[in-house]
Amino acid sequence: ENVSRFHTVTNDGGVVYHVRPNFDKIVALDTRTKAEREVASVDGRIFHLAVSPDGRSLECVILPKGQSQPRRLVIIDAQTGRSRTLVEQLAAEIPFFRGSVGWTPDGSSVMVRTRKAVWAYPAAGGDGKLLFQAEGMLSDVAVSPDGKTVAFTESTGQCHLWVLENFLPKLAK
């Protein structure tokens, strides 16, 4: 079987979630038992996949089969497979490059990289917050485990590596 291009691993390494090659199903692979179970099936195509720090939720982008519906940024319960749309309007701006979605280290928000900006949306729902905007194309966005530093590549004809510190809100303890 062909391997998916989108996968994510829980922090403890116990589960690998991956999108099936036809892009319409998310499967969980237990790394200890090698047992697989289907987590979710969608009417469309799944792109991007990120698991929350606690391993309970998955974030992904769903592209509809037809052009009449918008792309959606979705949160999926990793146990039940129930999904809810977090945002539609921004989803069309999310590039197909890896690393376009992720979670804040405390799991309270999802991070979304568009072509020239990084946004944070509360995982429980609500309005997003622009974290930073770049002049050039963004790629390879990574947040440190303590949430105090982000590194990213910005391409403006030349590539530049940027590291920002202390830009995220304080984590709740």
Q: What is the pLDDT of residues 140-173, one digit of tens each?
A: 777 888 888 888 777 777 666 777 777 777 766 6
Q: What is the pLDDT of residues 94-123, one digit of tens each?
A: 766 666 788 999 999 998 888 888 888 999
Residue 11's pLDDT band, with cuts at 50, 70 and 90, is very high
Which of 40-44, 58-62, 72-76, 136-140 bottoms out in mean pLDDT, i.e. has the lowest? 136-140
Q: What is the pLDDT of residues 71-102, one digit of tens each?
A: 888 999 999 999 999 887 666 677 666 667 88
Residue 46 scores a pLDDT above 70: yes
Q: What pLDDT does residue 93 have?
A: 73
Q: What pLDDT does residue 98 have?
A: 66
Output the pTM of the full model.
0.82
Q: What is the mean pLDDT of residues 35-48?
A: 92
Cα first-last separation, the chain: 44
Q: What is the pLDDT of residues 134-146, one digit of tens each?
A: 888 887 777 888 8
Q: What pLDDT does residue 160 have?
A: 67
SS3 content of the chain, % helix, strand, coil (to 5): 0, 50, 50
Average pLDDT, the chain: 85
Q: What is the mean pLDDT of residues 5-17?
A: 91
